[in-house]
């Protein structure tokens, strides 16, 4: 069965011969122009092709294009042309063009084109017919490429030395020597409505693609790609980015694809392609095979999809399964057995709230240092205590000595030996235990810290402790809630992208009476409604003791509650006795 576009062309070109999805007939536009030699009109009608419906004249009497462009040239009412949209404004963009142009200058430059330069282009595969179509000229020293605007006039031209392509300058109206007017052959955008178009860099690359019969536009330098307005391409179906093989060009192509979206297909160079390779280099090297090679590259171009390829997704899934079955994943556990059972290890985002002075920091310092001692990389972002206090409390817990004893130096031999051993343990732990007090922390800096520590420790997993969520830096302190929620979004992204585990301390809200709730729940957390959505596990540490009673510190008990979890059942995790005066906790058996 024929499709709408094929039927349209067959009706308009009744004498055409359709063979192998290509319709060929004598060019009606050559006849209208009464040219000396009539060319053939070639229409590509392979429905599986991105160029389905594209037509061009073998004599290049008119620019090639798709059905709407054909309809305009044939003066057919557009509502009878496939792809016409009655709700769309088909008018020309409103631009205040100057009254003076350089059209006559361009004709003069074309007349000065020498046989030597024509032979130069012929050597790389560009024929004289393409040079004439694109109005390429010569001013006696430089090749002149006219940048014709949408009104059909030329106001500026780029002059390029034929032997030194870096030697260039602009000729004509200065206002048209800069974006958005520095788009060569921009008229092809309108010719290709509802169809496909190639974008490249440099005039010479465009000439080669034009010689192949492809619709194409180009930029003088790839840096101007970021200045292209995506709205200019809204009526195109597909855009092929065919840029040079170098990091700058490929990065610019990716950034442009992110702005434009799904309709972009980036032409990939083969892995073995030399650096700084261009379409012109490809034409020189492949000779008669250039066309077949270029078309094969375009055909295999992949769309810039917001989704990973199915193959990539499968490999990623299998790799994650491997990582989660590895010893290092299962070793992401604290030295608190009941906590490990309740959470199934320290994975994902674990947020713990607690009343002031309940021991939240000490609880996480203990978990972090114990994991670092097992050579699991830990980054402790501290905005509460200071690096020295964290190290001192860790040293006290390891040595079973008080801060006063360590600072005074008054210890017996056994205590001296314990201190020496604890110092060695702390020293050996520090390559895996990094305390950061950076007050200008950002998600980007956090990612760099994680990448660095993973590289240094050759580990696939990292534990990040944040003390505390409410003291993370925000751009606008008056928008604390928005800032906290923004950070939670970033932690989710880092968790998913890098497989990082988080321990995050949060403050709790006071009730209307100024007191903290005795019964833990999700509404207890302060300043963020997103904690319940972001946290894989949300916990609350509540003391059983009153800060004003006479209970000895070493007998004070805290209960740790799991109030919400993606995988586990909420409830009491365990009770923890304050290990006074050694800045730690002991998980109770009952």
Q: Determine, yes or no, domain membership for 584.
A: no
How many other CB atoms are found less than 10 A from the CB of residue 122?
A: 13
For residue 263 the two structure tokens come to: 């309709």
Same domain, 252 and 331: no
Residue 423 token pair: 């110092």
Average pLDDT score, the chain: 92
Q: Is 363 in the same domain as 508? A: yes
Out of 497, 522, 540, a domain closes at 540
Strand-pair partners of 353: 506, 540
Q: What is the pLDDT of residue 325?
A: 66
State the burial class of residue 216 (Cβ atoms within 10 Å of its Cβ: 0-12, 13-18, 19+). Answer: buried
Tell me, what's the pLDDT at 87?
A: 86
Please check whether residues 373 and 457 belong to one and the same domain: yes
DSSP state of 525: B
The last residue of a domain, from among 270, 303, 336: 303
- Phi first, then psi: give them for residue 89, nearest 5 degrees: -85, 115
From first CA to last CA, the distance across the chain in angstroms is 78
State the helix-helix crossing angle for 290-299 and 279-286, rounded to 10 degrees. Answer: 130
Q: How far apart are CA 140 and CA 144, in angstroms?
A: 10
Please name the residue that has the structure tokens 């950034």. Answer: 255
pTM of the model: 0.59
Give how far Cα 310 sits from Cα of 267, 305, 317, 441, Å.
Answer: 20, 11, 10, 36
pLDDT at 35: 78
pLDDT in tens, 444-502: 999 999 999 999 998 888 999 999 898 998 776 556 778 888 899 999 999 998 889 99
The CATH number of the domain where 60 resides is what?
Answer: 3.90.580.10
Domain assignment present for 560: no
Structure confidence at residue 326 (pLDDT): 60
Q: Is residue 558 part of a domain?
A: no
Same domain? For 385 and 278 the reply is: no
Position 91 in a domain: no
Same domain, residue pair 198 and 297: yes
Print the domain residue range for 354. Answer: 327-540
The answer to whether position 125 is within a domain reads yes
> Are 297 and 350 part of one and the same domain?
no
Is position 393 within any domain?
yes
Say what the pLDDT of residue 311 is. Answer: 78
Q: Are residues 275 and 332 in the same domain?
A: no
Six-digit token pair at 231?
């709205």
Are residues 263 and 364 both part of a single domain?
no
DSSP H or E segment with residue 44: strand 40-44
Do 239 and 192 belong together in one domain? yes
Show which of 303, 336, 371 is a domain's final residue: 303
Residue 126 φ then ψ, to 5°:
-105, 120
- Looking up residue 246, the CATH number of its domain turns out to be 3.40.1360.10
28 and 127 belong to one structural domain: no
Alpha carbon 89 to its chain centroid, in Å, reads 33
Q: How is residue 70 written in tokens? A: 């054909």
Three-state SS sequence of 261-284: CCCEEECCCCCCCCCCECHHHHHH
The parts of the chain modelled with pLDDT lower than 70 are: 1-2, 91-92, 306-308, 320, 323-329, 476-479, 512, 514, 517, 527-529, 547-548, 590
For residue 147, the model assigns a pLDDT of 98
Q: Is residue 320 part of a domain?
A: no
Q: Report the distance separating Cα 500 and Cα 491, nearest Å.
A: 9
For helices 290-299 and 203-211, the axis angle rounded to 10 degrees is 100
CATH label of the domain that carries residue 336: 3.40.50.300
| pLDDT value of residue 318 | 77
pLDDT value of residue 587:
97
- Ramachandran sector of residue 286 (left: φ over 0; alpha: ψ -120 to 50; beta: rest): alpha
- Closest C-alpha among 221, 301, 226, 303 to residue 259: 226
For tokens 């114990």, what's the residue?
370
- Which 3 state secondary structure label does DSSP give 402? coil
State the pairing for strand pair 17-19/22-26: antiparallel
What are the tens digits of pLDDT across the range 139-163? Answer: 999 999 999 999 999 999 999 999 9
Q: Does residue 299 sit in the same domain as residue 419?
A: no
Say yes or no: 129 and 236 in one domain: yes
pLDDT in tens, 223-245: 999 999 999 999 999 999 999 99
Counted domains in the chain: 3
Q: Is residue 336 included in any domain, yes or no?
A: yes
């Amino acid at each position: 069965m024929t499709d709408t576009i094929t039927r349209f062309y067959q009706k308009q070109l009744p004498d055409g011969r359709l063979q192998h999805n290509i319709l060929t007939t004598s060019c009606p536009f050559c006849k209208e122009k009464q040219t000396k030699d009539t060319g053939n009109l070639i229409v590509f009608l392979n429905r599986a092709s991105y160029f389905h419906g594209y037509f061009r004249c073998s004599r290049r009497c008119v620019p090639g294009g798709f059905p709407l462009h054909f309809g305009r040239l044939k003066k057919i009412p557009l509502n009878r042309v496939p792809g016409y949209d009655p709700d769309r404004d088909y008018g020309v963009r409103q631009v205040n063009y100057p009254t003076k142009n350089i059209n006559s200058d361009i004709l003069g430059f074309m007349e000065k084109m020498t046989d030597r330069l024509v032979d130069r282009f012929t050597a790389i595969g560009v024929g004289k017919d393409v040079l004439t179509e694109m109005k390429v000229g010569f001013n006696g020293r430089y090749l002149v490429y006219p940048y014709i605007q949408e009104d059909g006039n030329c106001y500026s031209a780029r002059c390029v030395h034929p032997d030194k392509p870096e030697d260039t300058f602009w000729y004509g109206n200065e206002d048209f020597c800069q974006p958005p007017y520095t788009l060569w052959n921009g008229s092809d955008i309108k010719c290709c409505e509802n169809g496909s178009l190639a974008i490249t860099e440099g005039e010479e690359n465009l000439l080669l693609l034009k010689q192949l019969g492809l619709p194409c536009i180009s930029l003088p330098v790839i840096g101007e790609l970021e200045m292209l307005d995506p709205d200019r391409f809204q009526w195109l179906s597909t855009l092929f980015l065919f840029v040079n093989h170098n990091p700058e060009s490929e990065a610019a192509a990716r950034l442009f694809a992110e702005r434009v979206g799904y309709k972009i297909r980036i032409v990939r160079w083969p892995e073995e392609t030399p650096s700084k390779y261009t379409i012109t280099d490809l034409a020189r090297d492949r000779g008669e095979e250039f066309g077949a090679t270029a078309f094969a590259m375009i055909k295999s171009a992949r769309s810039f999809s917001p989704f990973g390829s199915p193959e990539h997704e499968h490999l990623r899934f299998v790799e994650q399964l491997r990582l989660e079955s590895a010893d290092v994943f299962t070793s992401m556990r604290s030295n608190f057995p009941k906590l490990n059972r309740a959470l199934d290890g320290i994975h994902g985002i674990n947020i713990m709230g607690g009343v002031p002075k309940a021991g939240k920091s000490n609880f996480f310092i203990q978990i972090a240092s114990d994991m670092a001692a097992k050579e699991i990389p830990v980054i402790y972002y501290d905005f509460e205590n200071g690096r020295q206090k964290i190290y001192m409390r860790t040293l006290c817990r390891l040595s079973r000595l008080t801060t006063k004893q360590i600072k005074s130096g008054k210890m017996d031999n056994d205590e001296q030996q314990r201190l020496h051993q604890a110092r060695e343990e702390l020293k050996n732990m520090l390559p895996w235990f990094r305390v950061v007090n950076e007050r200008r922390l950002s998600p980007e800096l956090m990612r760099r810290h994680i990448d660095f520590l993973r590289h240094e420790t050759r580990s696939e997993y990292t534990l990040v402790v944040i003390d505390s969520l409410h003291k993370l830096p925000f751009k606008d302190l008056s928008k604390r809630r928005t800032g906290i929620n923004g950070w939670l979004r970033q932690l989710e992204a880092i968790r998913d992208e890098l497989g990082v585990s988080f321990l995050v301390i949060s403050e709790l809200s006071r009730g209307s009476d100024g007191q903290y709730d005795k019964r833990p729940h999700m509404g207890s957390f302060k300043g963020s409604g997103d904690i319940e959505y972001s946290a894989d596990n949300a916990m609350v540490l509540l003391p059983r003791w009153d800060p004003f009673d006479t209970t000895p510190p070493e007998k004070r008990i805290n209960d740790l509650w799991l109030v919400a979890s993606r995988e586990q059942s909420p409830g009491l995790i365990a009770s923890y006795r304050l290990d006074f005066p050694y800045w730690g906790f002991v998980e109770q058996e009952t």
